[in-house]
Chain A
Amino acid sequence: MSNNDVVTFVTKVEFDSESLFVKNILAVLHAYDFSVSENKVKYCGYSASVEAQDIKMALCEAGVPAHEFIIHLDYTRKWGVL
């Protein structure tokens, strides 16, 4: 058996546009090459290469409290997986 992953993933970081930590969070997300979109009430950052716990650790190390953001992770089975 080879070491192929049988799933792909997308990590999504969501936070309020009113958050006091907007600048810190955006700086971390940009440093990790997240694509960021914005609407009236919130920002969303997406990445298909940075794992959820890694970005959480980076945000916490940048001084952002955990309750300031929500991280969603979605795995999707690759083609043909039962």
Chain B
Amino acid sequence: MNQFELKWYQKEDTWAIIIGLGTIALFTGAYIFGFPELCKGMTVKFSSWADGDFMSAFKGANAAAAHIVALYAFFAVVFTLSGYFFRFGIVEFLKGFSIIFLLAIFVNIAAANQLMKDMQLEAVFIALIVGLLLGNTVKLPKCLNSALRTEFYVKTGVVFMGATLPLTVILSAGPIAIVQATIVAVITFFSIYFAATRIFKLDPRFGATLGAGGSICGVSASIAIGSSCRARQEHVSVAITLVILWAVVMIFALPFAARMLGMTPGTAGAWIGTSEFADAAGFAAVSGIGSEAAIQAFTLMKVVGRDIFVGIWAFLAAVLSVTLWEKTSVKEAERVSAWEIWKRFPKFVIGFAIASIFISGVILFLQPQGLAELYTKDVVGTIKNLRGWAFTFTFLSIGMTTRFKELSEVGWKPFAAFTVGVLVNVPLGYVLSNIVFADFWDSL
């Protein structure tokens, strides 16, 4: 369908917000009106197992069949409902989602194995490896096509994330995240842009699209800036291909390097948030650290520090495109609407913010009655578990949809220009996270 004609209820962001906030409201209502079992019954977590005795994984109360069925029913209903509005066949979606859910169960059971734990092979890496192997070697059933929706799953996970991140943390860490992310984004963007246009003599629109992909928010930024500055289709495709290639490399390289360098979870999360190229890939990389502090630092850096500014970057690129790059005065140039800023704004971030405000408000309200701790354990704990599952679907989808032979051909010049950005971005992100703002990220 023509993107200009999509209604609000046909967009992924809308449904990520509805699912995330609807779930939070439902669980909170159930808790307040005396039905905490509703949320507790949906928590699924497998016990540690070893020596081939995988049935031990089902020993704990949270691995009971009833919990697994309830979790499946919950996700199947909410995702299929949204699928109805996205206009893909709901029967096909349900079949495809069922396969992904079974794979997610397999991945989490495998990750609960003691040997995997000793090897620090988190569920995320198993999901990615399983997905990449299946996607690149086996012809997958057609029904999986509609269910492999990386962006939708990660957006839903980010809205759930808002519920697990107190508003006070967002308010205190947000400004630092914005400062650090802006420093890195501006320097990386101009490094790539100048390398592309001055050294490799590429078109400025192409340079801006490459720069956006390497500095702001990956594929989404390449699409937003490529659209606003009217880059050519082949140039946007090349920029996206480079983002994907480097993002997949960084999923494995950044957590590995963070461990080797002995970084704390907070600084590692901030580094990954600064230096990974795409949201979904970033959540995969930071999940490899295996710490809530790392995930919080990453989210602050990526979502608050980087994603929300993509609209402003797009607006500036649009103005540059019709004036400077066409050597036209502002008076004679084509009009550029400031509406561009809102149009490109990632709307799911609103759901993330509302979730944080709502949960923080409820906790504040329950504190005098001594119920806040129990609410955090039952409701926020369950939402955190759902978040983990949404991210597992994301990681499986990344793996199964990243088909290297289907990516665009990239010439050596764009590759070199983008790599200049990587060489600037990664060390700069490390210095800012681990030295300049280290105390701050450590305190999360």
Contact = CB atoms under 8 A, between A and B. Distances in A.
A69 B240 CA distance: 29
A62 interface: no
Interface string A1-36: 111111101101000000000000000000000000
Interface in B127-160: 145, 148, 150-151
Consensus secondary structure, chain B interface: helix
B241 A6 contact: yes
A71 interface: yes
B87 interface: no
A81 B247 CA distance: 12
Interface in B329-387: 331-337
Contact of B406 (A4, A46, A75, A77): A4
A7 to B, nearest CB: 5
A82 B398 contact: yes
Given A1-B405, A73-B230, A7 B236 contact: yes
A79 B145 contact: yes
B219 A75 contact: no
Nearest to B322: A66
Interface string B269-300: 00000000010110000000000000000000
A65 interface: yes
Nearest to A9: B233
A38 interface: no
Consensus secondary structure, chain A interface: mixed
B333 to A, nearest CB: 6
Contact of B409 (A2, A10, A77): A2
Contacts of A53: 230, 232
Q: Kindly name the residue among A6, A51, A71, A74 whose own CB sees the greatest number of chain B CB atoms within 10 A.
A: A6
A71 B230 contact: yes
Nearest to A53: B230
A75 B335 contact: no
Contacts of A9: 227, 233
Nearest to B230: A52
B247 A70 contact: no
Contact of A74 (B4, B322, B401): B4
B19 to A, nearest CB: 21
A2 B3 contact: no
Interface residues of A toward B: which range?
20 to 34
Contacts of B336: 70
B297 to A, nearest CB: 22
Nearest to B154: A82
Contacts of A74: 3-4, 227
Interface residues of B, number: 47
Contacts of A6: 237, 240-241, 406-408
Interface string A34-75: 000000000000101001110010000000011101111111
A18 B241 CA distance: 43
Contacts of B243: 82
Contact of B2 (A3, A10, A80): A10
B340 to A, nearest CB: 9
Contacts of B281: 82
A65 B401 CA distance: 44
A7 B406 contact: no
Contact of B401 (A3, A5, A66, A82): A82
A6 B233 CA distance: 9
Contacts of B254: none
Contacts of B337: 70
A70 B233 contact: no
Nearest to A59: B334
B187 to A, nearest CB: 24
A81 B398 CA distance: 8
Given A10-B2, A76-B3, A77-B240, A56 B409 contact: no
4 closest A-B pairs by beta carbon, nearest first, are A80-B401, A52-B230, A66-B334, A5-B237
16 contacts: A1-B409, A2-B408, A4-B408, A6-B241, A7-B240, A9-B233, A46-B2, A46-B4, A51-B232, A56-B230, A66-B328, A70-B337, A71-B334, A77-B223, A79-B145, A82-B281
Interface of B: 2-4, 145, 148, 150-151, 218-219, 223, 226-228, 230, 232-234, 236-237, 240-241, 243-244, 247, 278, 280-281, 322, 328, 331-337, 398, 401-410
Interface of A: 1-7, 9-10, 12, 46, 48, 51-53, 56, 65-67, 69-77, 79-82
